[in-house]
Amino acid sequence: GLDGNAPVIIVGSGHDSTNLHTALSFGQNHPDALVIVRSFRASPFMEEVLREAGAHPFNLGELIIAGMPDEWF
């Protein structure tokens, strides 16, 4: 994690399912790691699975929308 000794792993391929599987694999092999996982589409299932596994998901689509001015909608 953030103590400087454990690895920090950021998973961000172009495929959400690949990111999910990769993050779960890293989490099993490196239980002390801080695992951050990018997804493009919002997926409550994926977010729940990742959080239960101790990973930290973030959704790119929501970040893009949050950064757009209200008058664009």
> Tokens standing for 24?
């779960």
Cα 57 to chain centroid distance, Å, stands at 3
Residue 64 to residues 3, 14, 31, 48, 59, Cα–Cα distance (Å): 30, 16, 31, 21, 9
pLDDT tens across the length of the chain (73 residues): 455 678 999 999 999 999 999 999 999 999 999 999 999 988 999 999 999 999 999 998 888 888 888 898 7
Beta-strand pair 8-11/56-59: unpaired
* pTM, entire model: 0.78
Cα 37 from Cα 50, distance rounded (Å): 8
> Tokens standing for 27?
């989490």
